Structure 1
Amino acid sequence: MAFKVFVDGREGTTGLQIIDYLSSRKDVELLEIDPDLRKDPRERQKLINQSDVTFLCLPDAASRESASLVTNADTCIIDASTAFRTHPDWVYGLPEIAPEQRDLLKKSKKIANPGCHATAFVLGVHPLIKAGIMPPDYPACCYSITGYSGGGKKLITAYEQLHTPSLDSPRHYALGLVHKHLPEMTVRTGLTAAPVFTPVVADFYKGLAVTTFVHTRLLTKKVTPADIRQLLARYYQDEPFIRVFPFDDANNLDNGFFDVQGCNNTNRADIFVFGNPEQMAVITRIDNLGKGASGAAVQCMNIHLGLDEATGLV
């Protein structure tokens, strides 16, 4: 018997990609909504409560509204907005963050899908704090470079149809240092204060890499880049979607340059450590539409339904 799945907000980038992941699967029946009724609360409520899993691919306020429509205790909600990512009643949809996370995802009917920048940052930093090497009050600084698809339809249109010379160069944004992913970046790593974070959007469709800077003099003990790499490799050694690359391997770079798009069209996260005994850079690379959004949501659905979590993903 196929699992019934509804995508509330299927017109956006994340919703469309979830549909793309699921449309060819024989174990999933996609519930369709009449386009004229896609904003009708009654019709949405009906489909939500008919489903085994509903993905919410909506702005925060609309996600909260849809979540409030659930009356079927067997319906699992996987929300892709920022509305519930630090809420204590919602399980964070990053299976790799802790050994018990998959069990929580199986049991919960409320799953908050992580943000793209947050996913990359948390994967690189959380193990260091959990191991006690990076103190919780560490003054973390990081930046992310990302493809323009992360900005949704409006930004995609700006780059692909209304392209002006100003879009040729990478562009910093959120320079008030209050990006919407900061709360989960703080809570889900175990930091006591938000990192200083600047995202940068560039003229390519998708691909993302978050670079976190590490001053070894501020850590709790003396470690080398190779030590940090080994710690991360041990932490993720059994994870099917995470690869921790060898330290100081020339194959990590393309003629000395880092390839931000190396995980595109996958649900992988690649982690690298660069630097020297005084300063390091931990870089986590993902596809912002894959492990950073739709792929992660499908992975959480698979886990919740008791399926192989890699089903339909690469």
Structure 2
Amino acid sequence: MHVPTVFIDGDQGTTGLQIHERLRGRTDLRLVTLPSAERKDLQRRGEAINDCDIAILCLPDAAAREAVAAIRRPEVRVIDASSAHRTQPQWVYGLPELDEGQAQRIARAERVTNPGCYPTGAIALLRPLIEAGLLPRDYPVAIHAVSGYSGGGRAAIDEYESGEASHAAPFKVYGLALEHKHTPEIELHAGLAHRPFFVPAYGAFRQGIVLTIPIALRLLPAGTGGERLHACLTERYAGARHVQVMPLADARAATHLDPQALNGTNDLRLGVFVNADRGQVLLSAVFDNLGKGASGAAVQNLDLMLGA
């Protein structure tokens, strides 16, 4: 019986380390990484990627493109955790819950692009509502999201966990030029007609995300209320193993959202908060930026590709 070989290229970064940890001890695959002396050796990396069954790329965008270009053996399949290919039509978008057939598309794919962390929450909220005709495609979407500082990679982790951590800002809003690389990904895969406003931030906690999208009911089709939006999301994710929709009663009772509530899992929790008197709804998503937002999603896609 053939045991698939899985090569992690870039296993010393935050996402790569988490993927390695999640796959440790599995007997249904053979995990390959390169020793530190060979990680920057292009020839050795090329050999490793061409010798594997599935490569998981945990690399900067340019290096991910180079790695794909180095593939000579057609049988090699790829999961790219970078943002290099997320809007490329020849790559399968690695969000299994995107629609009814997406998990099967991932299972059959040769090239899978892992979603970005923030887009995972935004698309999971927006796409079902747009497809159901409850949210117009040209709705002026604004997304606010706060991630743990690990979302900023090694530099941010060093800033918050080094000896100078006491000087690190407790909260940072960034992306003020409104050119964040996740915005085109959200626009495309959510099915929006126009570019959304996307305002990301980092908090002084290691991991976890809380993402919110405000909705004005007066801009929706006549008769569309918060309960209908909630029912649409509940129906859409009824059979989804890793997506939960908060019951309306729980949302009404909630006083806050904890971005760290699902840390260490591959789960995504969606919420719909309704103020019918004011004609306002707040959509929310809580998940681990290193779980469903990165390494957990990569392992979920890997399992689909392996038929596990």
Q: Smaller-chain TM-score range? A: over 0.9
Q: Output the CA distance in 2 between the equivalents of 1:305 and 1:250.
A: 37
Q: In structure 2, what is the equivalent of residue 209 of structure 1?
A: 210
Q: In structure 2, what is the equivalent of residue 73 of structure 1?
A: 74
Q: Output the CA distance in 1 between the equivalents of 2:221 and 2:74.
A: 46
Instruction: Tell me the secondary structure at the aligned position of residue 105 of structure 1.
Output: helix
Alpha carbons 2:252, 2:273 under 8 Å: kept: no
**More deviation, 241-250/141-150:** 241-250
Q: Output the CA distance in 2 between the equivalents of 1:301 and 1:250.
A: 33
Please list the CA deviations of residues 188-228 of structure 1 after superposition, one character each: whole Å capped at 9, or x if unmatched: 00001111111111011101011011111111232222221
Alpha carbons 1:207, 1:262 under 8 Å: kept: yes
Q: Which amino acid aligns with 1:68?
A: A
Q: Output the CA distance in 1 between the equivalents of 2:214 and 2:268.
A: 18
Q: In structure 2, what is the equivalent of residue 34 of structure 1?
A: 35
Which residues in structure 2 correspond to 1:156-235 (within 5 Å)? 156-161=157-162, 162-167=164-169, 169-235=170-236
Instruction: Tell me the secondary structure at the aligned position of residue 213 of structure 1.
Output: strand
Alpha carbons 1:245, 1:252 under 8 Å: kept: no
Q: Per-residue deviation at 1:257?
A: 1.8
Task: Call closer, same or farther: CA 1:80–1:252 in 2, change over 3 Å.
Answer: farther
Q: Per-residue deviation at 1:75?
A: 1.3
Instruction: Tell me the secondary structure at the aligned position of residue 176 of structure 1.
Output: coil
Instruction: Tell me the secondary structure at the aligned position of residue 63 of structure 2.
Output: helix
Q: Output the CA distance in 2 between the equivalents of 1:285 and 1:3.
A: 33
Q: Output the CA distance in 2 between the equivalents of 1:201 and 1:222.
A: 37
Alpha carbons 1:213, 1:281 under 8 Å: kept: yes
**Is residue 59 from structure 1 mapped to residue 60 from structure 2 by the alignment?**
yes
Q: In structure 2, what is the equivalent of residue 259 of structure 1?
A: 258
Q: Output the CA distance in 2 between the equivalents of 1:70 and 1:181.
A: 26
Q: Per-residue deviation at 1:72?
A: 1.7
Q: Per-residue deviation at 1:87?
A: 0.1
Instruction: Tell me the secondary structure at the aligned position of residue 249 of structure 1.
Output: helix
Q: Output the CA distance in 2 between the equivalents of 1:273 and 1:144.
A: 16
Q: In structure 2, what is the equivalent of residue 283 of structure 1?
A: 284
Instruction: Tell me the secondary structure at the aligned position of residue 7 of structure 1.
Output: strand
**Is residue 116 from structure 1 mapped to residue 81 from structure 2 by the alignment?**
no
Alpha carbons 2:141, 2:213 under 8 Å: kept: yes
Q: Per-residue deviation at 1:38?
A: 0.9
**More deviation, 80-89/35-44:** 35-44
Which residues in structure 2 correspond to 1:65-144 (within 5 Å)? 65-144=66-145
Task: Call closer, same or farther: CA 1:252–1:178 in 2, change over 3 Å.
Answer: farther
Q: In structure 2, what is the equivalent of residue 310 of structure 1?
A: none
Alpha carbons 1:133, 1:221 under 8 Å: kept: no
- TM-score, length of structure 2 as denominator length: 0.96
Q: Which amino acid aligns with 1:151?
A: G
Q: Output the CA distance in 1 between the equivalents of 2:50 and 2:222.
A: 52
Q: Which amino acid aligns with 2:236?
A: Y
Q: Per-residue deviation at 1:178?
A: 1.1
Q: Which amino acid aligns with 1:88?
A: P
Alpha carbons 2:78, 2:112 under 8 Å: kept: yes
Q: Per-residue deviation at 1:102?
A: 1.4
Alpha carbons 1:224, 1:276 under 8 Å: kept: no
Q: Output the CA distance in 2 between the equivalents of 1:69 and 1:252.
A: 53
Alpha carbons 2:91, 2:113 under 8 Å: kept: yes
Alpha carbons 2:160, 2:168 under 8 Å: kept: no
Q: Per-residue deviation at 1:251?
A: 8.0
When the two chains are superposed, the root-mean-square deviation of aligned CA atoms in Å is 1.3
- TM-score, length of structure 1 as denominator length: 0.94
Q: In structure 2, what is the equivalent of residue 21 of structure 1?
A: 22
Gaps of 5+ in 1: 308-314
Please list the CA deviations of residues 159-179 of structure 1 after superposition, one character each: whole Å capped at 9, or x if unmatched: 111214452x32101111111
Q: In structure 2, what is the equivalent of residue 312 of structure 1?
A: none
Gaps of 5+ in 2: none
Q: Output the CA distance in 2 between the equivalents of 1:163 and 1:251.
A: 37
Instruction: Tell me the secondary structure at the aligned position of residue 188 of structure 1.
Output: helix
**More deviation, 213-222/112-121:** 213-222
Q: In structure 2, what is the equivalent of residue 299 of structure 1?
A: 300
